[in-house]
Chains A and B, each alone.
Chain A
């Protein structure tokens, strides 16, 4: 509907509006800070108004971009993209509102709000585009904005705050002199790691285009049968989708490219919330879901058994990979979260773990006979996770804002100082760990339920089900640990505020410069612009179950919602947990919650008078702790490789450029010297001094050529002739002689 406006406005408003932000800054600081919130508010309203249009044709908005490639710009209005657009724009709006207060004392807000708004625009481009390539452009816009935003605080001069329980890294790449360097490094890391996935993805997109002849999702879905069969007949179906999935792995931080997200916490909290809840990391899930829908749309239900028998193996193996990657990520990152000492990093690990659940849901959907239910549970989890994760991050930002440290072991006892934050944080944490009736329970438990369903048919399913259950246990453990360490126990945050502020913690730099008096105040709840989004999100988290029937209706175009339908869906949601076969996974989940929750409660809340920094100091528990603290050594492994590559390039430069080529030259100089010495010795008495002149001249000649840079002409010619040889050999091979 869009009130009669053209659809592309939804993308143009944030993207073009981001350019206006610095201009607005010339007139008024306040106007500039509120511009993103305002524009995103408009966009949000437009997105909400898309609901009646789902499924409508796109004729007039189609704009030919590159005719030679058949590249057209179209807006895709199907349930998935509209739900994603509504979710992203709404969360972006709330986060921008929050940022107006949160960032109020920071410098260079032009850059910040420009990147924030462009980020939102990139996400909307991704989800609303009907064109894989243009979606990819949105994808890349987000990548670049994340780079700028994560490294936003690049001007911090203070040395980075060290983790009291941390492990000293020996890698020279990880030594930072200032906080700013660390932040820059984190931004670069996020960009480069996701770009690795992106490169594979672009390769996959091009490969897919080769067989489908179109970038358009709808056209792809229309003749899925034919390209599907061609692709599988040449054996490229599985590789193509794996390549595309590599992009999703990178963006959504799935194993093994999960390493960038925990460091992405270096940015301001609103950035973390934006990346985790509303945009970026959801992109990978979205693309996977999009392909699930596209593949499944060729038939009424189920990707694998019915519709495409010839390529059974490829489709099944692809979705098996998706499910396994999801399950492993969910479990692996949840265990890492159990030992992290950084408030936001715990949340980051929880994001990774929840994303793993979503990926698991997508994979399960592709493997089950009927994809809809598992797919829907994944979408519901995207929605509920978006809300509660935004809530948690924004609340955590408030905490860090007032206690001036990011480390949990330096917090504690904040309950009495920040009662409102304390309550909303509990709501978020309960939803995260999947306690009924909060939003997270409904979505996560149904994902586990379908994993169980898969386990009944499939051996891989058993493995996935176990992983999902264990991850749920870990989730509640770190959730309660987080609350216990931050809010319960002796109020260490206040007692040591002085030395905290003396050491100028993570978030306090710009803040303390302008408002030094706040440092010595007691921690307190943040102001209205920061709390309002929190209340909205908390309210949604509690009543989400009432919204889910609507989502389901939209997702499967089930027609108008009536009260009777709504109540029946709700009853079914509850009943399915209490009757067979849904009862079995439900009981398992409850067991897992008890398994993780009770020890955590005893350790971190029950004995709240005890210091909350207990670290196992011996035996298997210590080794396990170290293993988890090192994040399964995956991160270090990458650094080891990157360090190796860097050493290689510099050694190539120093060895080949400097040593070998110089060596040749020094060699020739030495030969010249020794030769000329011999000549002199031989000829000394005959041609007096003549030879000496030769030797000095040749030495001088070779020395003079050594002055500039590295290159020597004679070596260049030698390399050129060597190249001729290489090419001749190549040609002989291509002629079939060798």
Chain B
């Protein structure tokens, strides 16, 4: 599993092994797999208490670092009687969440990072997201999902933006709607099979499907449940038909929260979808593949067409991330090991690209004290050369140009579709990616080719800019060494896809 980073991991483990041995005696072995999430909850409470007097942001940073170390030194095991399982698949997503979490904390130095409640809610949501990706039971998944989502409703409302409450309300109402549908789906599944554990469910589904999908009424009920799952989990991912809140919420929320929503909770939703589709319902693949294909095409087209019409950068990025998730669905539609690995790789690369882009726009937005539109970007190359260059790289990465990791992630997705004979789907994706140049290039045009109205240098806060630099370096480095991540993604996919 640990291919490239094995020496580092071994070193850290070796250094810390005495402490680990001591500490392990105090921890019930059944909790071990969920220790990262539990630790985060602990740090959330500490941050809340510290926040009464002091700035709690360092506590949050320490919390995320401690959890990362825990992830490295603790063996991946299951916990709480197998409700939550750490395996290659969930580890991949936990690391995405932790990386995004760290970047989000860096960006939080801009605004409201010094408040206790903000840190508390953020860390609780991190914990929830980690639990979502480890959950292997529908009930556990539901609980974790709520733990992840509920703090974000409040966080979006905490934004300094005037429209924040409006965006948060939309998010909240839509989120409730999605949760209701999810409960309904779980109830249907439980009613038909009497199971909530995903792995047990898969064998039940296999027996039901073995008699042919057109015969048994149970199959129809399960299909309905699956549609409800696709909608309710897809709501967080921002795919058809639950995409509409995304631009409103992303553009009005605190930019740090936006980048968390786009970078991490989206990915948690992807992992939940993958668990349900690829573990529980893998036998029914031929039945749900057309569904995912439809969702994928609609999502790509909607995202790309509407992104073209936007004036505010945040909204444009929100629509573009909708389109990105449409591409990601291609991998799930392919349903092969390569397809799922491609989806994971896209999830990782998208986390880097979008987190960086949102943090950058938010930094500019805070500096200018208004929503950033295209006109505000005019002449950015003269006012803030570094920010402008990074913006250009991130946009090219989103457009899938070579010399950025975005090229590989799209390429492998399309390839996975071609491999299973869905070359028309790949072609639709490709044409969409050409179409998307229309709005990505517009950013470049404004940054580099339009004279600014006010040519004074734009000094941006340094810590968030550092976070963006990390993203940009990652985006370029993983073009040169895509194997560093792709190997893990393939390992994660191999663990979950039963050939």
Contact = CB atoms under 8 A, between A and B. Distances in A.
Given A68-B483, A192-B438, A731-B227, A650 B309 contact: yes
A440 to B, nearest CB: 35
Interface string B279-294: 0000000111111001
B241 A719 contact: yes
Contacts of A727: 227, 230-231, 241, 291, 294-295
A657 B289 CA distance: 30
A730 B290 contact: yes
A202 interface: yes
Interface stretch (A95-103, A193-201, A377-385): A193-201
B174 interface: yes
B408 A206 contact: no
A154 B449 CA distance: 6
A709 B315 CA distance: 11
Contact of B426 (A195, A206, A657, A715): A206
A719 B239 CA distance: 12
A210 interface: yes
Interface string B246-266: 011001100000000000000
A638 interface: no
A144 interface: yes
Interface in A693-738: 707-709, 711, 713, 715-717, 719-720, 722-724, 726-728, 730-731, 733-737
Contact of B177 (A141, A192, A646, A720): A720
B414 interface: yes
Interface string B289-311: 11100110000000001101100
Nearest to B432: A199
Contact of A720 (B163, B231, B450, B487): B231
A265 B223 CA distance: 58
Interface stretch (B31-39, B212-220, B462-470): B212-220
Which one of B169, B181, B437, B487 has the highest number of Cβ atoms from chain A below 10 Å of its Cβ? B437
Interface in A189-234: 191-192, 195-196, 198-200, 202-203, 206-207, 209-210
Interface in B146-199: 163, 166-167, 169-170, 173-174, 177, 181
A65 B487 CA distance: 12
Interface residues of B, number: 75
B223 A141 contact: no
A378 B434 CA distance: 31
Given A191-B437, A192-B438, A726-B241, A720 B174 contact: yes
Interface in A114-165: 133, 136-137, 140-141, 144, 147, 151, 154-155
B434 A717 contact: no
Contacts of A180: 449
A65 B228 CA distance: 41
Which one of A191, A722, A734 has the highest number of Cβ atoms from chain B below 10 Å of its Cβ? A734
A542 B252 CA distance: 67
A513 interface: no
B292 to A, nearest CB: 10
A734 B226 CA distance: 13
Contacts of A198: 434
A657 B247 CA distance: 12
Q: How large is the interface on A (under 10, 10 to 19, 20 to 34, 35 or more residues)?
A: 35 or more
A736 B214 contact: yes
Contacts of A728: 224, 227
A652 interface: yes
Nearest to A650: B309
B223 A731 contact: yes
Contact of B294 (A191, A657, A726): A726
B69 interface: no
A354 interface: no
A353 interface: no
A713 B174 contact: yes
Which one of B407, B431, B441 has the highest number of Cβ atoms from chain A below 10 Å of its Cβ? B441
B83 interface: no
B127 interface: no
B414 A206 contact: yes
A614 interface: no
A659 to B, nearest CB: 14
Interface stretch (B60-68, B362-370, B396-404): B396-404
A196 B247 CA distance: 28
Contacts of B418: 203, 206-207, 209-210
A707 B252 CA distance: 13
Contacts of B423: 203, 206-207, 210
A155 B290 contact: no
Given A708-B163, A708-B166, A727-B227, A202 B290 contact: no
A727 B230 CA distance: 9
Interface string B70-93: 000000000000000000000000
Nearest to B315: A709
A724 B441 contact: no
Contacts of B482: 65-66
Contact of B486 (A66, A144, A210, A716): A66
A715 B431 CA distance: 30
A69 B174 contact: no
A481 to B, nearest CB: 35
B159 to A, nearest CB: 13
A230 to B, nearest CB: 13
B24 interface: no
B390 to A, nearest CB: 15
5 contacts: A191-B437, A649-B308, A711-B247, A730-B291, A731-B290
Given A144-B396, A209-B415, A722-B241, 5 more contacts: A66-B408, A192-B438, A199-B431, A719-B241, A735-B214
Interface of B: 163, 166-167, 169-170, 173-174, 177, 181, 213-214, 219-220, 223-224, 226-228, 230-231, 235, 240-242, 244-245, 247-248, 251-252, 286-291, 294-295, 305-306, 308-309, 341, 396, 401-403, 407-408, 411-412, 414-415, 418-419, 423, 426-427, 430-431, 433-434, 437-438, 441, 445, 448-451, 482-483, 486-487, 490
Q: Which 9 A-B pairs have CB atoms at the shortest separation, nearest pair first? A: A723-B241, A154-B449, A734-B290, A199-B430, A137-B402, A653-B309, A206-B418, A708-B166, A716-B244
